[in-house]
């Protein structure tokens, strides 16, 4: 047996390490390590509950809006605002989160993971008169090639024409990403860390001019998703059809409701087990374990009673990420879960049509989506779904109508804010006493997926997706990287601050 260590894993958001034990070219065991400490829960203690909406966005500078959305739902619920938020406020929240999610999915495929399947360093042979390819060629000629490395021993399978098309979309994708962020910022106030999402709704006023400016941007985004992004993902899935059977993982899916519209939700939360068995989520069955995490030992607990007590010297630990479990079992979250819980619940025929059409295009079944290629496809389908919806939502805004509800927060209470985030199920648990936060716990999507082994020895979803993979004898085993990147890791959600040498900068008591 030999051990493969990849640290850090590049082209992801955050800091992640994998150790894989390989025998005869097959991964027999794996350990995923979140290598930095977060601690936002500790920082929130003693704060006004409304501060959580702004402060938890600092968990991640790439996708802060989901944290604002989860935190504000928790504050709304604790403050008794459920059912009181104006329709404009609900729609604006949907627009901000959905548009940011689309941007995030585009970023993931073209900038972070798509480079595992195409080789931009050969752009010169395709450039010709294509302006986007000429720009990329210029970058490479000036020495800006590091984002596209290492390129050793990668089995590029796309034909020359498809490669030219996909590589040509790299520069365009960055422009579309920018326009999606601009659109969301019109209602969110700024980016990163939106200022307009507040308890009771959204503080931004709605005008006809803002709606028009938003629409002309998102319509271009929607066109890109339908005619470029989704076809590119399908092309990769067709060329790498074997990846529809690789990186299956735990094959249990969990999702939360997302995007309320007229008393319903666009994404229907729930559980999927045995590939196609749907059931509803009981959040009281969610627990967090720390058996192999650098936190003081305690029994599996419901997040509402959770603890964040770091123990960096814990011998049996190998990650700063905790181990969320549902009813003691391992569950994967993400766009795949969002799409399949909605699909199997039968609550949204548009989702069913999207999924059925995509499966028909690649000649696959539901079970094939539990895979590396399946996760990419589900993410593109979610982007298409949201891109179509935001146009309609924006058109239903009422200029001049209220966007927030007034309220008087009580001195104590407990609540939960659940969101269908870009990477899946995100939960914030809030406990307030004497008008201040007494406990706050966050379970991010990457905490579910990148979790270490639990007290029963069950590996987390990343680890299970890697175990059993056949890997090439390479300095950069692309099979492992493709499996991990298919989840779109964002371990910034699990980490925060350090210095390169680990030096102590200072100790502070925050009151």
CATH number at residue 395: 1.10.645.10
Chain-centroid distance of CA 273 in Å reads 21
pLDDT tens digit sequence for 93-138: 999 999 999 999 999 999 899 989 987 776 667 677 777 777 777 7
On the question of pLDDT at 494 being above 70, the answer is no
Furthest-apart CA atoms within the chain: distance in Å: 67
503 in any annotated domain: no
The pLDDT, as a whole number, for residue 498 is 45
At 440, is the secondary structure helix, strand, or coil?
A: strand
Contact between 132 and 168 (Cβ < 8 Å): yes
Chain-centroid distance of CA 344 in Å reads 21
Contact between 312 and 318 (Cβ < 8 Å): no
Residue entry with tokens 């927030």: 404
pLDDT tens digit sequence for 407-432: 888 999 999 999 999 999 999 999 99
The pLDDT, as a whole number, for residue 171 is 85
Closest among 465, 434, 427 to 66, alpha carbons compared? 427
How many C-beta atoms surround the C-beta of residue 207 within 10 A? Answer: 12
The total of structural domains in the chain comes to 1
Range of the domain at 178: 2-119+154-494
The pLDDT, as a whole number, for residue 62 is 78
167 in any annotated domain: yes
pLDDT tens digit sequence for 140-150: 777 665 656 55
Residues 6+ apart with CB under 8 A from 173: 106, 107, 109, 110, 111, 224, 228, 229
On the question of pLDDT at 32 being above 70, the answer is yes
Q: Is the peptide bond prior to 467 cis by the omega test (within 30 degrees of 0)?
A: no
Closest among 370, 338, 333 to 468, alpha carbons compared? 370
The pLDDT, as a whole number, for residue 128 is 73
The pLDDT, as a whole number, for residue 510 is 42
C-alpha to C-alpha distance for 374 and 371, rounded to whole angstroms: 5
pLDDT tens digit sequence for 212-237: 999 999 999 999 999 999 999 999 99
Q: What is the overall mean pLDDT for the chain?
A: 91
Contact between 480 and 466 (Cβ < 8 Å): yes
C-alpha to C-alpha distance for 117 and 235, rounded to whole angstroms: 10
511 in any annotated domain: no
147 in any annotated domain: no
pLDDT tens digit sequence for 196-208: 999 999 999 999 9
367 in any annotated domain: yes
pLDDT tens digit sequence for 239-288: 999 999 999 999 999 999 999 988 899 999 999 999 999 999 999 999 99
129 in any annotated domain: no
Q: At what angle do helices 160-188 and 230-239 cross, to 10 degrees?
A: 140
The pLDDT, as a whole number, for residue 147 is 59
Category of 166 on φ-ψ map: left (φ > 0), alpha (ψ -120 to 50) or beta: alpha
On the question of pLDDT at 14 being above 50, the answer is yes
Name 324's bridge partners: 288
Higher pLDDT, 16 or 330: 330
15 in any annotated domain: yes
Higher pLDDT, 181 or 474: 181
136 in any annotated domain: no
């Amino acid at each position: 047996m030999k051990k493969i260590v990849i640290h850090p894993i590049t082209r992801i958001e955050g800091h992640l390490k994998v150790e894989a034990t390989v025998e005869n070219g097959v991964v027999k065991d794996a350990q995923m390590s979140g290598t930095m400490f977060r601690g936002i829960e500790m920082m929130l203690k003693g704060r006004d509950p409304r501060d959580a909406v702004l402060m938890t966005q600092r968990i991640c500078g790439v996708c802060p809006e989901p944290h604002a959305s989860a935190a504000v739902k928790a504050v709304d619920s604790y403050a008794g605002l459920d059912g009181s938020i104006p329709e404009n406020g609900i729609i604006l929240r949907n627009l901000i989160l959905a548009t940011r999610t689309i941007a995030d999915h585009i970023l993931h495929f073209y900038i972070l993971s798509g480079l595992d399947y195409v080789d931009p360093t050969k752009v010169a042979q395709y450039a010709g008169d294509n302006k986007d390819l000429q720009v990329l060629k210029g970058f490479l000629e000036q020495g800006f090639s590091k984002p596209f490395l290492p390129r050793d021993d990668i089995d590029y399978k796309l034909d020359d024409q498809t490669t030219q098309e996909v590589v040509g979309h790299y520069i365009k994708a960055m422009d579309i990403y920018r326009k999606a962020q601009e659109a969301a910022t019109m209602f969110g106030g700024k980016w990163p860390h939106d200022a307009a999402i507040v308890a009771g709704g959204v503080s931004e006023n709605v005008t006809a001019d803002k709606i028009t400016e938003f629409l002309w941007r998102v319509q271009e985004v929607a066109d890109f998703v339908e005619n470029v992004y989704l076809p590119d993902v399908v092309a990769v899935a067709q060329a790498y059809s074997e990846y529809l059977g690789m990186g299956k993982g735990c094959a249990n899916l969990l999702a939360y409701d997302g995007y309320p519209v007229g008393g319903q939700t666009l994404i229907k939360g729930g559980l999927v087990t045995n590939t196609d068995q749907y059931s509803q989520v009981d959040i009281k069955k969610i627990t967090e374990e720390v058996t192999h995490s650098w936190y003081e030992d305690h029994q599996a607990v419901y997040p509402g009673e959770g603890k964040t007590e770091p123990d960096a010297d814990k011998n049996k630990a190998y990650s700063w990420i905790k181990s969320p479990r549902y009813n003691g079992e391992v569950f994967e979250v993400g766009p795949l879960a969002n799409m399949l819980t909605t699909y199997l619940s039968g609550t949204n025929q548009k989702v069913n049509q999207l999924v059925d059409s995509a499966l028909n295009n690649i000649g696959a079944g539901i079970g094939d989506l539990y895979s590396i290629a399946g996760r990419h496809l589900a993410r593109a389908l979610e982007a298409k779904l949201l891109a179509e919806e935001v146009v309609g939502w924006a058109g239903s805004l009422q200029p001049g109508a209220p966007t927030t509800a007034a309220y008087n927060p009580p001195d104590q209470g407990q609540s939960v804010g659940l969101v269908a985030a870009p990477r899946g199920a995100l939960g914030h648990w809030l406990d307030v006493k004497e008008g201040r936060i007494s406990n706050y716990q966050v379970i991010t999507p990457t905490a579910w997926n990148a979790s270490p082994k639990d007290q029963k020895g069950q590996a987390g979803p990343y680890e299970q997706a890697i175990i059993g993979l056949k890997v090439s004898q390479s300095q950069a085993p692309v099979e492992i990287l493709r499996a991990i990147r298919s989840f779109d890791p964002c371990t910034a959600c699990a980490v925060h601050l350090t210095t390169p040498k680990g030096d102590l900068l200072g100790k502070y008591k925050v009151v």
